[in-house]
Structure 1
Amino acid sequence: MDREYLIKKWLDHDLNAEELQAFQALDDYRELTKLSNSLEGFKAPDFDSESAYLNIQDKISLEKSKISWFKPFLRIASIIAVLLAVYFYTTTLDTTTTTYFAEKTEIYLPDQSKVSLNAQSQLTYNKHDWQSKRDVNLNGEAYFDVEKGSEFNVITDNGTVTVLGTEFNVKNRPGFFETVCYEGSVKVISNNQTKILKPGDQFLIIDGNYIAQEKEKNNQPSWLQNESYFKSIPYKYVLREFERQYHVTFNTESIDTDKLYTGSFVHNDQELALKAITLPLNINFTIKNSVIVLNRE
């Protein structure tokens, strides 16, 4: 009988008595049976797929129940974390008030100190730190009525004004820094100078130079009454203040803007205000496309 045929039937356990006798007569019969016995040890154990599937499903259900309990907790924790972050951010953030052309406003600080902010000015402070540090940053002009308490600092890029509780005005503009004390006392530090101001005292620096001033007789700055007053001030600073109050632009190519000016202008009548700043210096003005052109008479 054919050798391959006998081996195949032997592997299928399908040999009859005659075929079994022929298979046992094969030359490699002993090697084939030995190999067959060795492979028996490598047979996979019986696998119950149904039981295995049910076992896996039980484990998945258990994990889902754990996750379904934990999910709401995670949501609540996330919301609390966001709220805490928002609270911390908003309570430590600086508070800034800005005025624009022809605009004035009043601000009450956390200790009820009152600040009047002139046109095109900016005041910044921090509510969170206020109890331990009464500091404000000023860019522009403001009048302060400070409640008594710890040290109060007005910080500008031209100097720092320090008080305990008083009324004073600070004007911090490009090239121009002025502090006037109206009540109490004020300490001013600027340009390596330190001055203690009493009621009526002024501290003025123009273009880096200290300018001595007479006593201030008024009990408040004139701009609170919608009027700007100047005494021996370079004309260019008068024109800049006019631009802030009326949102206009000057053409000054034909005039000397370093000439000193003494006088005032109102904030609610542009025509009258123009005459107030031009007639004393014999200057004419014309308005062309929203630009006020100044010329000598």
Structure 2
Amino acid sequence: MNKNYHLADWLDNKKSDDTLSGIQGMDTLKKIKQYSAQFEKPKFSKDEVFRQIKNKQNAKKSKAINWSVAASVLVILGVTSLAFLFSVKDVTSQIDSQQHVVLPDNSKVILAEDSKFKFNNWFWNFDRTAKLSGLAYFEVEKGKTFTVKTDFGTVQVLGTRFQVLSRDSIFKVVCYEGSVQVKFEGEENVLKKGQFITYHNRLIFEQSNVYGEKPSWVSKTHHFENVSLSEVMQELEKEYSIEVDILKVTENKRFTGTLPSDDLSLALEILNKTYQMNYTIINENKFIFVDNVQP
């Protein structure tokens, strides 16, 4: 026991070499003492140890908070995505009927036959953007930008009345009130009241002089302004899927007026009385007009 105590003091330079005289392996002990003196005893600081422990604890808390925030964000994104998905409304009109839509801001949309309209009901007041395929007439309440996207181009307005046709490679926009901005393949055009523009197979056809306060198909009528009778008959053929032949009708006959687009008999009777013409029914799809009075 005493030897061990003296040995420890000797290694700590508290005893002289003479103290260990007679101990076997003295040469080995001296080498151990020589090499151990080259090592520096680590310094110990309670404050430093406490700081390191505290940092580890804070790091763990920070990771926990980060995971909590990330989880909350994922939940919010998930709920928002589901809300967006289920709030999207698809409206489709049948081949033989129109469809009326009232948007959350009280803007009104009338879909023509065989048309599709899509919008987001919940987020509408933040983003008034809709998608159209087919033909529709819009009466837009004033407010944020109102955007109609189609496969061919985009229409933007603030508050106005207009019509959009997007079907069979034809993109046509008609402005009935205010102004509308039309974007097509990087080109922008602004239409004023009474103007319209047509894009067909990437060609642009601009015209003006739109008559009426709204499209005739909305009120199920067709308005004509000083057009030839042949043009009127062509429109009837298209509207009612019929064939009309005109016999002995002078070329200078012009027509200004309104014809119904859902009552063929009434339309034919209006023309008959206006121009004193008789018509003969060949079959349910073919009619022949003949003048009664020559000019």
Q: Does 1:124 align with 2:122?
A: no
Shift of 1:124: 0.7
1:1-297 alignment, distance < 5 Å: 88=82, 92-228=86-222, 242=239, 266-270=260-264
How far apart are the structure 2 equivalents of 1:227 and 1:114? 19
Shift of 1:117: 1.5
Shift of 1:214: 2.4
How far apart are the structure 1 equivalents of 2:177 and 2:269? 34
- 1:220 is aligned with what amino acid? K
Check whether the contact 2:128–2:147 (CA below 8 A) recurs between aligned residues.
yes
Shift of 1:210: 1.3
- Cα 1:274–1:95 shift into 2, 3 Å: farther
Check whether the contact 2:212–2:223 (CA below 8 A) recurs between aligned residues.
no
Shift of 1:137: 0.8
- Cα 1:250–1:93 shift into 2, 3 Å: farther
What per-residue deviation string (whole Å, max 9, x for no partner) do you get for residues 33-68 of structure 1? xxxxxxxxxxxxxxxxxxxxxxxxxxxxxxxxxxxx
How far apart are the structure 2 equivalents of 1:217 and 1:183? 12
What per-residue deviation string (whole Å, max 9, x for no partner) do you get for residues 98-140 of structure 1? 1112311321101111111212211110113213211111111
Q: Give the structure, 1 or 2, with the largest relative contact order (CA under 8 Å, sep 6 or more).
A: 1
- 1:119 is aligned with what amino acid? E
Check whether the contact 1:107–1:114 (CA below 8 A) recurs between aligned residues.
yes
Check whether the contact 1:159–1:188 (CA below 8 A) recurs between aligned residues.
yes
Shift of 1:209: 2.1
Shift of 1:272: 6.0
How far apart are the structure 2 equivalents of 1:158 and 1:209? 12
Identical aligned residues as a percent = 31
Check whether the contact 1:287–1:293 (CA below 8 A) recurs between aligned residues.
yes
- Cα 1:222–1:250 shift into 2, 3 Å: closer
Shift of 1:179: 0.9
- Cα 1:157–1:285 shift into 2, 3 Å: farther
- Cα 1:273–1:100 shift into 2, 3 Å: farther
RMSD: 4.2
How far apart are the structure 1 equivalents of 2:102 and 2:199? 28
Shift of 1:242: 2.9
Structure 2: runs of 5 or more not aligned: 1-77, 244-254, 271-279, 288-295
How far apart are the structure 2 equivalents of 1:228 and 1:206? 23
- 1:103 is aligned with what amino acid? S
- 1:165 is aligned with what amino acid? G
How far apart are the structure 2 equivalents of 1:171 and 1:133? 22
- 1:105 is aligned with what amino acid? Q
Structure 1: runs of 5 or more not aligned: 1-83, 244-248, 252-261, 277-283
Between the two proteins, the alignment pairs up a number of residues equal to 196
Stretch deviating more after TM superposition (88-97 or 186-195): 88-97
Any idea what SS the aligned residue of 1:92 has? helix
